[in-house]
Amino acid sequence: MAGMNALAPDRRQWARDHAASLRNLYGPLEGEGLIKVMSQLEFKGRIALVSSFGAESAVLLHLVAKVDPSIPVIFLDTDKLFGETLRYRDRLTKLLGLTDVRTIEPDAEAVAMRDPDGVLWRDNPDACCRLRKVEPLARALQGFDAWITGRKRFQTAERAALPNLEAADGRVKVNPLISWDSEMLEAYRTAYDLPAHPLVEDGYLSIGCMPCTDRVSEGGDYRDGRWAGSEKRECGIHFEADGSGI
């Protein structure tokens, strides 16, 4: 299918219509097959993977590398990440032969103005995520018509009905792992001898920024360690401008 005309008056409507058309065309396609069709046919040269290089990231990165290791990979370095995550990024990049990993940092002037003391994560975590994740990602995605995410239905109640293809803020989002659960992910990782994030063994099940990520107690929910003690569940990169999204 043809990509979006840059002069189209309503990009969001284009994305909604295109995502619906793709769902009708490809049905419940997931995994490597979905990545291949989206990256080589529908959005060739116009799609990127956004990866945190977190607890489950190796599986999706491996699938993408099997299809095409030159697919751009956007990594948001918030300047608040664990050192283990940065080293894991470097290790997986080399191991999988990824050739276009783009490390994106927050705007230095914006950080100096809005978080001069580096404690915005404590005082206003939503504003911190907006500064260090949402805004940098918006800049990084310019020029792309679609992006690949690692979200899965088991992660949160809000994601339980996540489709394989959706629209958000004028782009198509591709979700190849929606039906994969923890057991499937671990089986795949083991089968391909992919290294686990070094913090997983220490009880970190979902890994984000260091100040906002805790270990999960045995029997706890998958994302209990993210923004523990608050009602915050998402960093915001999957929210649309109107606040909707998961």
| Residues designated catalytic | 235
User: At CB < 8 A and 24+ separation, what contacts does 225-230 make?
Assistant: 227/125, 230/125
Give the C-alpha distances (Å, rounded to integers) separating 215 from 51, 156, 204, 207: 21, 17, 5, 9
- Output the DSSP codes for the chain: -----TT-S-HHHHHHHHHHHHHHHHTT--HHHHHHHIIIIISTTSEEEE----TTHHHHHHHHHHH-TTS-EEEE--S-B-HHHHHHHHHHHHHHT-S-EEEE---HHHHHHH-TTS-HHHH-HHHHHIIIIIHHHHHHTTT-SEEE----TTS-GGGTT--SEEEETTEEEE-TTTT--HHHHHHHHHHTTPPPPTTGGGT-SS--BGGGB----TT--TTTTBSTTSS----STT--TTS---
- Kindly report the number of other CB atoms within 10 A of residue 158's CB atom: 13
